[in-house]
Amino acid sequence: MEGMTVTMPLLHNSFSQSQMEALIKVAEAVNSTLNLKELFQLTLEESIKAIQDADGGVLFLYDKELAKLVCPSFVNFTPTVTKISLDPNESITGNCFSSRKPILITSPEELAAETESMSASNRRLFDASLAVHSGQNAFRVMCVPLITENDDCIGAITLNGFAEEGTFSEEDLRLLQAIAGQAAIALSKAQLHFDLQEKNEQFEQIITYQQQLLLKMNAGAGLASMLEQLSKQIQKPVSLLTIYGEHIQLGDLKDHFVTNEFPIQSGRLLLGKLFVSTEPGHEISDTDCYFIQQSILFFTLEINRESALREVEHRFKSELMDDLLNGILKEDFLIRAKGLGLDIDNLLLPVTAITEATSTEESITDFSWKREIANLLQVEVNQHFPGSLVVQKQQRYIVLLSVRDDISKPFLLKKIKRLADDLQRLINQQVQNLTIKLGIGKCVHHIEELPDSIEDSIKVLQFLHDSDSRENVIDSASLGFERLLIPNKDKDIDAFVMSTLGAIIRYDQEKDSKLLKTLRTYTQFLQRPGQAAKELHIHLNTLHYRLKKISELLHVDLQDSNDLLNLQLACKLLPEDIEK
């Protein structure tokens, strides 16, 4: 027969006795298993046995997700052939699949012409897959579509002849069509069995997964343990952020990964967010989505359970703070404070915080979220100042910072400002119209000193609010004369004087020096240092030396008008006999 390409419908002529026997053998073979891999291989092997001049072959199936024809099975090719993925209409197999018609090629010349549409990359792979043949050439090819009983074309079988002697006939093509028909039915059944088996396995995995999550929750393993189980199950990097400020990250997260966000909600209240990272172009499968949704259900239960525990803790903290502010310092006070996490061995620095709406309208979500800020504050505060305590009182949050006695005041203020910035950033992730502001009291060594310092932090915070300042942190020691603009008692005036002049008063007492008298005299003769030196009966150089020492001790600049105003007021308010 001369070389030619034949596309033809299935002929209904009867098969010869030998062909019928071959067809029966193929049917028995392909119906003997429901294992897809075995079925693919049996289909090819039995087809090659039934057709005399067939030396090898490949089976291609259409992958809907890839929109490509892929090769799960082969005979007499190298494994490289499985790397080929054909577009419909590409080369002989693609044309057979898209047209749903058989193709017969009986000469190398026609074969070369019919494979011109193969892409360069697939051509290189195909040539490499022929390495087992000395000539690295196929002399004849026939290809038939795999059409199921539901009339779905699921792929194609291609047989090759590598020996120069021999040929493929139309009878061979008809036989291969019949084999393909048997194989397609068997493949369809096997695929159905495989799908059912896969769904049963998935169902078992889901039941097991739910049981494991339930055991973890009952055992109090916590969110981190549950999140770790999810990450292992779906084999992807995951992270969890709750409204309490908890942030858990698991897995190796690359910069180029795509982040998929899943809200964790209880009704309309947002409790947190789950983040699942995937490589670009890789979507989360339906099965993984189910595991994620199941995890979110347990995350919600666990977060709500932790919330109930926080409510009990909040009540104990509130009672402790009431006793503190009312001066009820019972014998068990320090034990209760320590039990709630306060490190009573360090210095204590009260900080009062408030949240303010930046718009006149406040949504239900904003109002609900304000209740959780105390928990968020506790988490963030403990990251910056371990051993601290946060208590919500009405619309304020009173924070008792545990501070080492060797930390400098400038560094301490810097840490508190960084804390305020971190808090604001976390708040902005949930609500857009809330700002947080902090008022700082003074460090104290004893619990008995805390009520006055807490009151200071509340007052300076109120001043920050009333003054419409854009600052988010204010220190009571830095107010200066502005402190006198706040409604005050005598002790507030004393506190202003001591915060302004206390360092040189203590220095004079320790060194028996005259710095306070020098400063008082200097503030009386600001523009006349010579007159101040004369009044003090000292040399002008001595005056300058003392003023330099005063600047160092008080951390002020005597050339700064604000610093000078604070010093003048403090000197005026200082009793005359304090120098004695």
- Please state the three-class secondary structure of 520-546 as a single string: HHHHHCCCCHHHHHHHHCCCHHHHHHH
More confident residue, 245 or 142: 142
pLDDT band at 148 (very low <50, low <70, confident <90, very high): confident
* End-to-end Cα separation, the chain, in angstroms: 130
- Please state the three-class secondary structure of 446-509 as a single string: CHHHHHHHHHHHHHHHHHHHHCCCCCCEEEHHHCHHHHHHCCCCHHHHHHHHHHHHHHHHHHHH
* Percentage of the residues of the chain whose pLDDT score is greater than 90: 17
d(CA 3, CA 111): 9
Identity of the highest mean pLDDT range in 115-129, 135-149, 282-296, 564-578: 115-129
Domains and CATH numbers, the chain: 5-195 (3.30.450.40), 206-301 (3.30.450.40), 329-478 (3.30.70.270), 497-579 (1.10.10.2840)
Average pLDDT over residues 354-379: 63
Average pLDDT over residues 14-43: 68
pLDDT in tens, 334-366: 888 888 888 888 899 999 888 877 655 544 344
pLDDT exceeds 80 at position 398: yes
pLDDT exceeds 80 at position 570: yes
Note the pLDDT of residue 28. 67
Helix H or strand E encompassing 292: helix 286-325
CA dihedral 358, 359, 364, 365 (to 10 degrees): -50
More confident residue, 145 or 391: 145
Note the pLDDT of residue 5. 37
Tokens 């990964």 sit at which residue? 257
pLDDT band at 18 (very low <50, low <70, confident <90, very high): low
pLDDT in tens, 72-91: 989 999 999 999 999 999 99
Does the pTM exceed 0.95?
Answer: no
Note the pLDDT of residue 559. 86
157 within 8 A of 183, measured Cβ to Cβ: yes
d(CA 100, CA 109): 24
H-only helix segments in 6-140: 17-30, 36-50, 91-99, 108-114, 120-129
Residue 562's Cβ-side half-sphere holds a number of Cα atoms within 13 Å equal to 7
pLDDT band at 11 (very low <50, low <70, confident <90, very high): very low
pLDDT in tens, 494-520: 777 888 888 999 999 999 899 999 998
Chain centroid, CA 303 distance in Å: 17
Tokens 């290809």 sit at which residue? 143
Rounded to 5°, angle at Cα 359 from 358 and 360: 130
Burial of residue 284 (CB within 10 Å: 0-12, 13-18, 19+) is middle
Helix axes 223-234, 286-325, angle to 10 degrees: 170
Q: Please report, for residues 221, 236, 351, 486, the alpha-carbon distance to residue 456 in angstroms, rounded to integers and kept in the order given.
A: 42, 50, 9, 10
pLDDT band at 7 (very low <50, low <70, confident <90, very high): very low
